[in-house]
Amino acid sequence: METLAFDVPAWPGHRAGQHVDVRLTAEDGYRAERSYSIASAPDDTRVELTIERLEDGEVSPYLTDELRPGDAIELRGPIGGYFVWEPSQGGPLLLVAGGSGVVPLMAMIRVRAAAGSDADTRLLFSSRSWDDVIYRDELERLQNGHLTVVHTLTRSQPPDWKGYARRVDAEMLAEVAPSQAVQPAVYVCGPTPFVEAVAAALVGLGHEPARIKTERFGATGG
């Protein structure tokens, strides 16, 4: 995972959860386009993307390996009106992230912090190992009485680990999520099997399907 910061003159601003389309053009005119969630809270003309380098990817390896400071890319956005959260919406807020799916949710956490919001927010974050946790230190710093971050490490854990050590399931969600009675706004993002399992579990726990917003990510072979 690598975070790239772009200076985008005339950037109109964005809302947390939105994405941009990146377009690359080769010398002979061949083009490739992909979407990436914006990682940063709105900040003038600066737009940050956190990119997962896919081994067999066409675009991500170019962005993480080839692009150098000073290089330009073509960028379109911000895009998306549904999977967004603004501080004015308040809480309670439940964010459930699978791996790189945390990116748009991190934008929500950052915009929440920048606005000084005390909306009750819980992030349940699934990663393979402690070393794989993106934004780890920043999340640790941002935790307080109103922002709770719960990690689950699915593949390996540090020796003194006392937290969850398995894939997110209904039991874990029952322990971590606010009760359906308080009707949290829910955002789930990650690979499709993760999102499918989490969304189904939350519906099973009584959360209204209409209050569960999902975004599905991840390697699709491109």
Structure token pair of residue 185:
């706004």
> What's the CA gap between 174 and 196, in Å, rounded?
16
One character per residue 47-86, x = contact with another protein (rule: CB under 8 A) = -----------x---x---x----xxxx-x--xxxxx---
- Scanning 2-88, the segments in alpha helix (DSSP H) are 60-61
**By CB under 8 A, how many residues form the interface with another protein?**
41
- CB nearer to another protein: pick between 29 and 145: 29
User: What is the sign, positive or negative, of the torsion defined by CA atoms of 83, 104, 50, 150?
Assistant: negative
* 146 or 213: CB nearest another protein: 213
Does 30 contact another protein by CB under 8 A? Answer: yes
Contact 61, 34 (CB under 8 A): no
List, in sequence order, every beta strand (DSSP E) within 18-134. Answer: 19-25, 31-37, 46-51, 74-79, 93-98, 121-127
CB 163, CB 153: distance < 8 Å: yes
Q: Which stretch binds another protein (CB under 8 A): 44-52, 102-110, 140-148, 212-220?
A: 212-220
Question: Is 23 a binder of another protein (CB under 8 A)?
Answer: yes
Least distance between another protein and beta carbon 54 (Å)? 12
Q: Rounded distance, CA 7 to CA 109, Å?
A: 22
**At closest approach, how far in Å is the CB of 52 from another protein?**
15
**Binding residue for another protein, selected from 1, 8, 35, 64, defined by CB under 8 A:** 35
**Is residue 159 a contact residue for another protein (CB under 8 A)?**
no
Element housing 185 (H / E)? strand 185-191
Report, in Å, the least distance between residue 137 CB and another protein: 31
Question: Of 103-111, 119-127, 150-158, 193-201, which segment contacts another protein by CB under 8 A?
Answer: 193-201
H/E element holding 217?
strand 212-217
Distance (Å, whole) CA 208 – CA 78: 28
Of 163 and 204, CB closest to another protein: 204
Among 7, 33, 169, 175, the residue binding another protein under the rule CB under 8 A is 33
Distance separating alpha carbons of residues 49 and 1, to the nearest angstrom: 10
At 114, the amino acid letter reads: A
Catalog residues that contact another protein under the rule CB under 8 A: 21, 23-27, 29-35, 58, 62, 66, 71-74, 76, 79-83, 192, 196, 199-200, 202-203, 209-210, 212-214, 216, 220-222
